[in-house]
Amino acid sequence: MVWRATKGEFLLKSPVVILWTNRAWLVALGTIGIVMAFLLILTYVSVKVSAPLSEAVCGKTIVIDPGHGGIDAGAKGRSGVMEKDVVLDIGLRLADLFNRAAVYTVLTRNTDDGLIEPGNRSHANWKRLDLEGRIALATEHNADIYVSIHANSFPEQVWSGAQTFYHSKSDDAKELAIAIQKELVSRLGPNLRKAKTGDDYFVLRKSTMPAVIVEVGFLSNPREEALLAQADYRKQVAEAVFYGTVNYLVESYKKGRLQEGDESRPSSDLPSEFTDIQDYASLYSRARAALNLEENEVALYFAGPTNFDDDLMPEVREIPGLGAESNPDSRASRVVQELIKGPARGSVLCPTLPRGTCLKSVKIVDNVAYVDFSEELMENHWGGSRAEELTVYSIVNTLTDVPGIKEVQILIEGLVSSTIAGHIILDEPLSPNFDIIEFKQF
Binding site for Zn ion (CB under 5 A): 67, 74, 150
For the CB of residue 356, give the shortest distance to Zn ion in the complex, in Å: 21
For the CB of residue 52, give the shortest distance to Zn ion in the complex, in Å: 34
For the CB of residue 84, give the shortest distance to Zn ion in the complex, in Å: 8
- CA geometry: angle at 84 spanning 90 and 392, to 5°? 115
Q: Among residues 74 and 304, whose Cβ is nearest to Zn ion?
A: 74
For the CB of residue 222, give the shortest distance to Zn ion in the complex, in Å: 19
CB 301 within 8 A of CB 312: yes
CA distance 358 to 377: 8
Q: Among residues 86 and 103, whose Cβ is nearest to Zn ion?
A: 86
Beta-carbon contacts of 384 under 8 Å, excluding residues fewer than 6 positions away, are: 75, 150, 151, 152, 153, 154, 215, 218, 219, 220, 421
- The overall longest dimension of the chain from CA atoms, in Å, is 118
Q: Among residues 60 and 93, whose Cβ is nearest to Zn ion?
A: 93
Virtual torsion, Cα 178, 180, 186, 188, nearest 10 deg: -130
CA distance 79 to 59: 41
Nearest to 217 by CA among 149, 156, 148, 303: 149
- CA geometry: angle at 280 spanning 275 and 282, to 5°? 145
Q: Among residues 372 and 388, whose Cβ is nearest to Zn ion?
A: 388
CA distance 211 to 108: 14
Q: Among residues 67 and 304, whose Cβ is nearest to Zn ion?
A: 67
Q: Among residues 127 and 150, whose Cβ is nearest to Zn ion?
A: 150
Q: Among residues 67 and 314, whose Cβ is nearest to Zn ion?
A: 67
Closest residue to Zn ion using C-beta atoms:
150
For the CB of residue 287, give the shortest distance to Zn ion in the complex, in Å: 31
Q: Among residues 217 and 314, whose Cβ is nearest to Zn ion?
A: 217
261-269: long-range contacts (C-beta < 8 A, 24 or more apart)? 268/171, 268/175
Virtual torsion, Cα 263, 269, 270, 272, nearest 10 deg: 100
For the CB of residue 383, give the shortest distance to Zn ion in the complex, in Å: 6
Burial of 251 (0-12, 13-18, 19+ CB in 10 A): middle
For the CB of residue 160, give the shortest distance to Zn ion in the complex, in Å: 16
For the CB of residue 126, give the shortest distance to Zn ion in the complex, in Å: 15
